[in-house]
Structure 1
């Protein structure tokens, strides 16, 4: 019986080889298997690193709590701005994630996705400041567009004067700040934070964006511009937090 079973398996293997090479290649089948295997392997890796038993789970919870505390402590400006940051993040659940890949352009991949509530157009930050926003969310991973992307545009507020403007990305250079008032006070070292979006999407208010490093002089310009160094070290990202929409309000 065992011998017959072995012969049957061998015969089936030979038939598959012949079928693959002569009639219809099995490349699509192999590709599908590879995709499934890769997904499972990624899931196992994520579970192992993120959960890894009760001790690892507690460590992650501690990291998450520290991340929130660091954000509040690092927020520039007055106590009122810190309070607004606490209120903005308090309305939503923050999900911890790790950056697991850098894509083409100013994009990174994180190991958290829709299964944890991550959706498009939500804020991504770390303990230093704003990182970017989610542009795509799969079941277990998501893509994040960094604030230095050329297409990035973030409503901004000066932490000291309260002047409003917009911060755009300059790939390879950092960020450019454009204040709406061309006569607004501005100096090197000034701190810039997020203005916040309607419904807190894609950006919550009060998150540090960066520090002014140089004032640009453009005679007759309708806005006042400056170069800004990002608060977050975007070239060395690891642990980040994703502000997950409130399921009760859809925001």
Structure 2
């Protein structure tokens, strides 16, 4: 039975070759088959690459983002916080971005948003599956700050001129290259402590000023955001 089947297949193959060369060319049939199978192959390849490659990369990215946020959240044991990984999916007016995580993932208003480099901003609105994030460079943004080296306290504000640091002590040591981190808020909202804000880029000289000010270059590249972490209250503990 098996031999008969093989012979039948061979006979059909020979017949197709004869027909192709003598009677009716089968080029259109082959072309159609190539199109169909080529399309299927491309589709399957795309799906395979997506599932096997991009999804694995995104999963690793999300896990890394979550671990970073969890480490920062765990810096103060009394706080029960966790990280929710999300991707920036839109840029809006007024220094705002949209992320693809919302209340369904535990995201709420007035919580910290950061990435692998530093502070991004805070959540100002949260829907079921998306949320709006106000960047630290936006007008009206105000973040309690601490100098990483000296421990001096101050305030970092946003606006058209970028980030500006104001130290409470006008005689505090300050130089270009100094690192600025978040001071932290009560309950970790809206900002948890110890997140890099940026680096002092220039000292402003204002004679007789009661505070000392400087320009700060953001640690996070806010114009090219992708993966971020949202630090939210952990109700699972």
Pick aligned residue for 1:64 from 37, 62, 74: 62
Q: TM-score, normalised by structure 2?
A: 0.72
Aligned partner of 2:219 in structure 1 is: 231
Q: How many pairs does the alignment contain?
A: 187
CA distance in 2, matches of 1:85, 1:184: 29
Aligned partner of 1:38 in structure 2 is: none
Matched, 1:174 2:162: yes
Secondary structure, counterpart of 1:87 in structure 2: coil
User: Post-superposition shift, 1:66?
Assistant: 2.7
User: Post-superposition shift, 1:63?
Assistant: 1.3
Pick aligned residue for 2:115 from 112, 120, 126: 126
Is the CA contact 2:113–2:119 (under 8 Å) kept in the aligned structure 1? yes
Aligned partner of 1:24 in structure 2 is: none
CA distance in 2, matches of 1:88, 1:59: 30
Superposed counterparts of 1:3-152, under 5 Å: 59-67=57-65, 86-88=74-76, 91-152=80-141
Q: TM-score, normalised by structure 1?
A: 0.68
Instruction: Give the direction of change, closer, same or farther, for the CA distance of 1:234–1:114 in structure 2 (3 Å limit).
Output: same
User: Post-superposition shift, 1:87?
Assistant: 1.6
Matched, 1:200 2:198: no
Deviation string 1:95-135 (CA, Å, 9 cap, x unpaired) is 11111111111101111100000000000000000000000
CA distance in 1, matches of 2:53, 2:139: 41
Instruction: Give the direction of change, closer, same or farther, for the CA distance of 1:58–1:138 in structure 2 (3 Å limit).
Output: same
Is the CA contact 1:85–1:206 (under 8 Å) kept in the aligned structure 2? no
Is the CA contact 1:92–1:245 (under 8 Å) kept in the aligned structure 2? yes
User: Post-superposition shift, 1:56?
Assistant: 6.3
CA distance in 1, matches of 2:86, 2:119: 14
RMSD, aligned CA: 2.5
Deviation string 1:50-98 (CA, Å, 9 cap, x unpaired) is xx869766544421333366789xxxxxxxxxx8765249841211111
User: Post-superposition shift, 1:204?
Assistant: 0.3
CA distance in 2, matches of 1:243, 1:94: 5
Is the CA contact 1:188–1:212 (under 8 Å) kept in the aligned structure 2? yes
Instruction: Give the direction of change, closer, same or farther, for the CA distance of 1:137–1:54 in structure 2 (3 Å limit).
Output: farther
Is the CA contact 2:73–2:231 (under 8 Å) kept in the aligned structure 1? no
Larger Cα Rg: Structure 1 or Structure 2?
2
Matched, 1:156 2:154: no
| Structure 1 unmatched runs, 5+ | 1-51, 73-82
CA distance in 2, matches of 1:137, 1:91: 20
